[in-house]
Amino acid sequence: MSSDPWETLRAATRARVGLGRAGDGLTTAENLRLAAAHAQARDAVHAPLDVDAVVGALGERAGPVVVSQVADRTEYLQRPDLGRRLASDHGLEAGTWDLALVVADGLSATAVHEHAAAMVDVLLPRLEGWAVAPVVVARQARVALGDEIAEALGARMVLVLIGERPGMSAPDSLGAYLTFDARPGRVDSERNCVSNIRPPDGLTYDAAAEVLVSLMTEAFRLQLTGVRLKDTGAALPSAAG
C-alpha cells in the first residue's frame, strides 16, 4: 500500500491535489509539470487552425471556409470585437436552413483538430429531418461570428463548435454554443453552452450530442435560447454508484 494518502484522490481527477512541498514551495517535479502545462495552454492559444485538415476530416459535410475581420493571431487576441465580425468577402449564400453548424478555432485550434469532426459525426445522425447547412469552417473566430454566419445563410439557429480558452489541465476543450434566431447584436445571455467536450477526460461526444439535441428541440418549441431555456439534465449520464 502506498504511503501517500493523496494517491487515491489524484487517481480520480486531473485536478492538482496533494502536490507536496519542498520547503515553502512546490517540489521540482511539480514545478516542471506546471511549466509544461502552461506551455501547452499557450501553444493551444497561438496554434493556427489547420483548415485543410479540418475540411478533410469533415469530408462531404464541409461547406465554405470563412474568416473574421482579424488580420492575424496577435490582433485576434487584442481585438475580440473583430473576431465577431465576418470579412466582407465571405461568399456565403442565403438558403432556407433550420441550423447553421460552424466549426471555429476560437482560443484552441488544438481542441478543434482533436474533437470537432468527431463531434459532428456523432451529432448529425441525430438531426435527421432537420435542414442543416453544410458545415462552415471559421478562422480567427469568436462565438458571435456564428450570428453573422447564420444571418448570411438564412438559418434559424446556429451551433458553433469552438475551441475554448485553455486551462492548465485542459488545452483541448471544445465548447458548443447554441443561438436561436441568430443575428448580429445577440448577447451571451441569449445563448446556451455545452462545455468541456473532450473525451476521455471531459464530456463524451454522445453525451454532448444528447444534450444539444434536447436543447435544440426545445429551442424550436419555445422560439428562444439562453437563460430562459433550461437544460434539465435528463440527457446527462447518471453518477457512478
Matching residue, cell 478562422: 139
Please name the residues in contact with 114: beta carbons below 8 A apart, sequence gap of 6 or more: 172, 174, 198
**All structural domains of the chain:** 51-222 (3.40.50.11240)
Rounded to an integer, the average pLDDT of 178-201 is: 94
pLDDT for position 231: 76
Would the annotation count 112 as a binding residue?
A: no
pLDDT for position 15: 74
Q: Is the pLDDT of residue 58 over 50?
A: yes
Q: Is the pLDDT of residue 217 over 90?
A: yes
pLDDT for position 2: 60
pLDDT for position 239: 43
> With bands split at pLDDT 50, 70 and 90, how would you rate the model's confidence at 208?
very high
Cα–Cα distance between 221 and 230 in angstroms, integer?
A: 13
Rounded to an integer, the average pLDDT of 17-41 is: 80
Rounded to an integer, the average pLDDT of 189-205 is: 94
Cα–Cα distance between 105 and 150 in angstroms, integer?
A: 17
Q: Is the pLDDT of residue 53 over 90?
A: yes
Cα–Cα distance between 109 and 139 in angstroms, integer?
A: 9
pLDDT for position 240: 44
Would the annotation count 75 as a binding residue?
A: no
pLDDT for position 41: 78
Would the annotation count 60 as a binding residue?
A: no
Q: Is the pLDDT of residue 238 over 50?
A: no
Q: Is the pLDDT of residue 55 over 70?
A: yes
Cα–Cα distance between 147 and 145 in angstroms, integer?
A: 5
**Chain mean pLDDT for the chain:** 89
- Of 49-53, 88-92, 176-180, the poorest mean pLDDT is in 88-92
Among 35, 70, 60, 215, residue whose Cα is nearest residue 144: 70
Q: What pTM was computed for the model?
A: 0.86
- Of 11-25, 75-89, 185-199, 216-230, the poorest mean pLDDT is in 11-25
